[in-house]
Structure 1
């Protein structure tokens, strides 16, 4: 068997990877895919379709998390759980299980019974979740007392105590798989977490429809802080006026279904306009302010969600803001990233990372004068960051040939 040159991957390798990502509804950054192709190209000629698929899922799916991520969400969850004595919970894209075990801890402390299932396409992460042992990175925001309460320290790892593993199950799979029924035909959930997952899915409608079908009437959908998808409003409505991560399933009567679909069709373009308003970085003119004020009475739900998103963003810490900014930049949603960056720079003016990303986005938007000012702040705050000097080189080049 002839050896495939190491510096020239097979012409169909990228296509094979693309087919795996499409089959699982996963969106991966091009730079991650290119790096993955470079790494596996020397052995790609001996990879079976099954092994290639496993490698794609291991290397190109999202996996970073930590305990009690989006603390506002878990504070609200504590209050919600008091409504009844037992709950059936699903965590989609559960990664290594931090979200599942955080939920189990809250259930235990509130004193309610919870059956919790976590599902993820990545077999290695599901294996880690079942083991329930973590590095310090996953528990870094917990106090010493909380760590001692929730974990046993074994060989330098933080292993979740058995009491929090009760009624917890982890499943490798994709909720859109049609070949097998993952949960059983009659199983319904009271709460479904799907945080930092929808950002990476191209076709949202079948995913949201499936989630709605898995939820009980009036069940809760929980998104990540700062996430907003107009498609969600076709099945869900904001559950609370003070946090933008909780949505409740809309219960439709049989004779209301057609009417509801007509309403959704009519308002979808309006929701898109609201979403576009979130992306714009220009300050509204006096006339546009007046127009917006006139539209308030016609778009209460959408404007309510905009306000909820702002409240939620205000409550998250610097690290969460940076992660959300990075996700927006990865999606090339520069206008939305810029709004969050500007607001975050006001709240955290000494964070060099924010000023670095501000420079990057201003470069992308060809706002060179603003980029110069932001770059000066970034250099002053941390002149040792190589990426800052790369941005300076790019800015100097753009300015020279302007």
Structure 2
């Protein structure tokens, strides 16, 4: 009964089933016995979406955007998966400093996070990347909390809504933020979302994903510009031929290979150094972001791609999970795994699963 309710709610919001999260939600619901369906939905959304963020996350991005806001116009911006509002208010800070007109809509599936975003109340963790001058400029500090000043809340709307519903409603935007959101959707859903975003973006409007995020289908819909390792996806009338579409369809599980294979297609060519920068933007990411990608690839049994990625960072890593995953992948690919496994055990001898792996093949 409870599992059916959970699955119906996941289906309603277009979210993928995740065994680990489902088990956690089920145990939570068993503890809070007797919840109604609305309460269950709220618990699922709070556990199924990422809320960690902070002001001016991905610092280079904001400096680049300052150069984008050059026209004297009313900028319309959509922030999908806006969480507690840090991204939305970061935009407001910049646009106010530049004396620009704007309208910003922040959308998130979590009711609780939207309430927090509207309040504009944050702990130190959210402002930790700001210097003292910025904190004093943008916030009123009361006790241990930082409150966004009222002048920066103007022309901002926050809404609790499924992002797929938002983008289907239409409207036109100059920028759409979609950072760390698509990981929750299936490939078919990602295609639909990106198509809908293309439709609501103005000509030369920007789609902004999280640092290191890449989906092959993006290159079919958008041009891209790279500045200081930040990728901006620009909406144009550019289309590719059917041969390119077919290749993306058949090679959908090997993202980097897809980028390299673009060289062989009969389509408008990007300069080689530009494509290299795109690849670099995908691989030059933090260790935590690597782990997130690698875990997703392992869950999809895309072991070859996961192994090629993990080799790039393993030698310089002291994170036992890196070596644990590397050993696991080497086992799956029939490679010598003993060195990786020994390093993982050395770094964390308390992980029982590592000792079980050590007995593999005996």
TM-score band w.r.t. shorter chain: 0.7 to 0.9
1:82 is paired with a residue of what secondary structure? coil
CA-to-partner distance for each residue in 1:82-121, whole Å, 9 max, x for gaps?
A: 2444311100011111111222222233332222111001
1:66-77 alignment runs, 5 A limit: 66-77=54-65
Number of the residue aligned with 1:110: 98
* 1:14 counterpart residue number: 3
Conservation of the 8 A alpha-carbon contact between 2:108 and 2:159: yes
Is 2:245 the partner of 1:268? yes
SS of the equivalent of 1:192 reads strand
Aligned to 1:200: 184
Displacement of 1:247: 0.7
Residues 294/195 of structure 1: CA separation in 2 closer, same or farther (3 Å cut)? closer
CA contact (8 A) 1:28 1:61 kept: no
Structure 2 Cα separation of the partners of residues 31 and 185 of structure 1: 33
Distance in 2 (CA, whole Å) between partners of 1:212 and 1:121 is 21
User: Which residue number corresponds to residue 318 of structure 2?
Assistant: 352
Q: Which has the larger radius of gyration?
A: 1
CA distance in 2, matches of 1:191, 1:184: 16
Q: Please give the TM-score of this superposition, normalised by the length of structure 2.
A: 0.83
Distance 1:144 1:321, change over 3 A: farther
TM-score (norm 1): 0.76
Give the 5 Å matches for 1:275-290.
276-278=253-255
Asked whether the equivalents of residues 80 and 106 of structure 2 are also in contact (C-alpha less than 8 Å), the reply is: yes
* Pair 1:212–1:302, CA change in 2 (3 A): farther
Whether 1:225 and 2:214 are equivalent positions in the alignment is no
- Render the CA deviation track for 1:148-207: whole Å, top value 9, x for unaligned: 443333231232233322222211102333xxxx69977311000011111111122321
Unaligned runs of 5+ in 1: 1-11, 253-259, 281-288
Cα distance change, pair 103–294 in 1 and its aligned pair in 2 (3 A)? closer
Specify which of 177, 183, 188 is matched with residue 172 of structure 2.
188
Deviates more, 1:62-71 or 1:25-34: 62-71
Instruction: Give the equivalent residue in structure 2 for 1:390.
Output: 352
- Provide Cα deviations, 1:287-317, integer angstroms capped at 9, x if missing partner: xx9xx69727768459777533333246544
CA-CA distance at 1:215 after TM superposition: 1.4
CA distance in 1, matches of 2:93, 2:159: 20
1:308 to 2:292 alignment: no
Cα gap change, 1:184/1:226 in structure 2, threshold over 3 Å: closer, same or farther? closer
Structure 1 CA distance, aligned partners of 2:251 and 2:289? Answer: 24
Whole-angstrom CA distance in 2 between matches of 1:132 and 1:378: 42
Q: 2:14 aligns with which of 5, 25, 28?
A: 25
1:176 match: secondary structure: helix
Query: Does the aligned pair in 2 maintain the 1:342–1:358 contact within 8 Å?
Result: no
Distance 1:107 1:336 in 2: 40
Per-residue deviation, 1:339: 3.4
1:93 and 1:293 mapped to 2: Cα distance?
31
From 339, 354, 357, the counterpart of 2:308? 339
Structure 1 CA distance, aligned partners of 2:55 and 2:300? 25
Q: 1:26 to 1:68 in 2, by over 3 A?
A: same
Q: Count residues in correspondence.
A: 357
Pairs within 5 Å for 1:20-99: 20-41=9-30, 46-99=34-87
**1:344 is paired with a residue of what secondary structure?**
helix
Contact 1:28 1:60 in 2 (8 A): no
Q: Is the 8 A contact 1:92 1:118 kept in 2?
A: yes
**Where do 5+ consecutive residues of structure 2 fail to align?**
none
Listed as ranges, the matches of 1:124-273 within 5 Å are 124-177=112-165, 187-202=171-186, 203-240=189-226, 243=229, 245-251=231-237, 260=239, 263-272=240-249
Aligned to 1:8: none
